[in-house]
Amino acid sequence: MFNLTNSQIFGSPEPSGDNPDLWGIEIEFEGARPPEQPLPDDFDDLDPDTQEDILRDRARNRRRYIDIPRTKGWNIVEDGSLRDGLEAVTAGPQKYEDLPQLLDNLNATFAKINFTPVFSYRTSLHVHMNVHDMTLRELINLFILYSLFERALVHFGGEERRGNMHCLLVTEATRPFDLLREMCVAKTQAEAMRLLRQLCHSNFRYSAFNWASYSRYGTIEFRSHRGTSDTRAVMLWVNLLRRLKEKVKEFDDPRTIMVEFSRRGPDGFAELIFGRHSFAYFTPTLCRYHAAMWEAARLCQDVAFCRKDWVGEKEEVKSKVRPWDGVSPIEEGEAVETIGDVVMVGPRLEMQDLRAQVRRNLAHQWIDEWQG
C-alpha cells in the first residue's frame, strides 16, 4: 500500500499531461462589497414608504459584491467565513511556471477596477500541491518533513495564523500523527484503508497540512499562510513547499529523514533541505524554533519508527543523502559541549553521535545504579 499512488489507492483521475508540477491557489480577501451609503440628511422627515425604499436599496447594495472582471486562470467565488469577502481560486491545477503570470494577472485585474483587497486576520492563502506523482510512503515523508519545519514555516507565513481554528498546526493538533501511526501498523490492508479514509475525512480539514484534499483531489492543501495576493510572497511560499516535495524523493522512507535530522540537527538539516542561499528569507528565523523542531521530531519518530519495512523490499535503513551534502563551514569547525560532567570536543558533525553515546553511557550507569 505504501508504494501505491493516489490513483491506485483512491482511483482518482490523474491530471492530464506529463507535468506533475501542478498547483492550486486560493486567495481569500475582504472589502469586496461597496461601502454603506450614508442616509440622506432629511431621512427622518421622509414618509415611511420612501424611508423603506431607501433602506431596502441600501441593504440590496450591501449584499452585492463588487464586479470583478473575469481573469484568465481564476474563478472568483463567495466565501461566507469572511467579512464582505471573496475568494480567488485558480481554475483547476496550474503549472508551476505559469503561477507568477497568473498572480500578476489577478493583481492587474484588481488594479484595473481600482480595488484594494483587504487581508484581515480572517483571510488566508491556501496552496494545493499536486501529489498524484507521489507514493503514499513519499507522502508520509512529505508530512514528516513539513512537520519538522512547521513552526518555522508558520512564522514565515504569518505567526498570527498559529492556533487559528481554521488551520491548526499538525504539531499542536496532533490527531493526524496518531491516525497515521495507527494506519502504518494496521494488521490488514482493509484496516489501513479505513484509517487512511479517516485521516482524509473532510471533518479534519482544518489542519495546516490538510489531508482531506488527498482523497478528493490528489492534492495536499497547506492552509497556514496569511492572506496575500502579492506575487512575490505567494511564490516564496510555493517555492518553500515545492522544495519540500523535491527533497522527499531523496529519502527512502521516514526513518531515513529522522536519522538525518538527528545526525545534523535543525540547522544542518534545514540547510540540507532548503539549501544555503536560496531561502535566505526563511532560514534566519529557524534558530528560534530549534526546540519546536526537536519536539516535532518526537512526534515524527512515532510514525517513522513504527514500521521496520517501509519499502517492502529491504529492511536496511539507507539514506540517499550523502554525508557531505549541505555541510556548512560552521559545522566543519570545532565545537564544545557538556552533558553533566562530561566535556566533549570535536567536529560539530560528530557531536550528535558523541552526544548520543554519552547519553547512552550515562543511561547504562544509571540502570546499573538502580539495579544495585
Partner 1 sequence: MLQYDSLEQARMRLESTIITYKGQAVYVNSVVQGRGKGRPIQLRVQPLPLSSPTGAPLAVETVTVSMDDPDANFRLFRVGYQNLVFGDIRRAVFLVRAPVRQQRQGLCERQLYVEGEDATAQRELDLNGNGNYSYRYMLLKSFDDMLAGRYPDLQQAFRMLDEEGWDRVAVSHNFAVGKDRDINALRFVLYRGRKVGVALERPLAFLIDKDNEYLAEALQETGIKFKVNDV
Which residues of this protein are in contact with partner 1, per CB under 8 A?
A: 83, 121, 160, 162-165, 167-168, 170, 172-176, 178, 202-208, 210, 258, 298, 301-302, 305-306, 308, 359-360, 363, 366-367, 370-372
Q: Please say which residue, 108 or 185, places its beta carbon nearer to partner 1.
A: 185
CB of 329 to partner 1, least distance (A): 28
The grid coordinates listed for 94 are: 496550474
What is the SS3 assignment for 155? helix
Decide whether 327 or 358 has the Cβ nearer to partner 1. Answer: 358
Half-sphere exposure of 309 (CA within 13 A, CB side): 5
If the CB atoms of residues 76 and 184 are measured against partner 1, the closer one turns out to be 184
Q: How far is the CB of 122 from partner 1 (least distance, A)?
A: 9
The DSSP bridge partners found for residue 25 are 127
What are the angstrom distances between the C-alpha of 187 and each of 5, 97, 195, 306? Answer: 20, 43, 12, 13
Task: Specify whether the CB–CB gap between 348 and 333 falls below 8 A.
Answer: yes
Retrieve residue 40's grid coordinates.
Answer: 440622506
User: Coil, strand or helix: which one is 150?
Assistant: helix
Shortest separation between residue 168's beta carbon and partner 1, angstroms: 4
Cell, residue 74: 481564476
To partner 1, the closest distance from the beta carbon of 166 in angstroms equals 9
User: Toward partner 1, which CB reaches closer, 116 or 371?
Assistant: 371
Burial of 340 (0-12, 13-18, 19+ CB in 10 A): exposed
Q: How far is CA 352 from CA 223, 271, 337, in A?
A: 34, 16, 10
Residues 163, 311: Cα–Cα separation, whole Å: 35
Least separation, in Å, of the C-beta of 367 and partner 1? Answer: 5
SS3 209: strand
Q: For residues 214 and 279, which CB has a smaller minimum distance to partner 1 in the complex?
A: 214
Nearer to partner 1, 284 or 340 (CB): 340
Output the smallest distance, CB 203 to partner 1, in A. Answer: 5
Indicate the residue among 72 and 298 with the shorter CB distance to partner 1: 298
**Rounded-to-integer distance, Cα 265 and Cα 221, Å:** 28
Looking at residue 247, its amino acid is: K
H/E element, 256 = helix 254-274
Which single residue is written with the C-alpha cell 496550474? 94
Select 198 or 239, whichever has its Cβ closest to partner 1.
198
Shortest separation between residue 170's beta carbon and partner 1, angstroms: 8
Angle at 163 between CA 162 and CA 168, to 5 degrees: 95
Q: What is the smallest separation between the CB atom of 6 and partner 1, expressed in angstroms?
A: 21
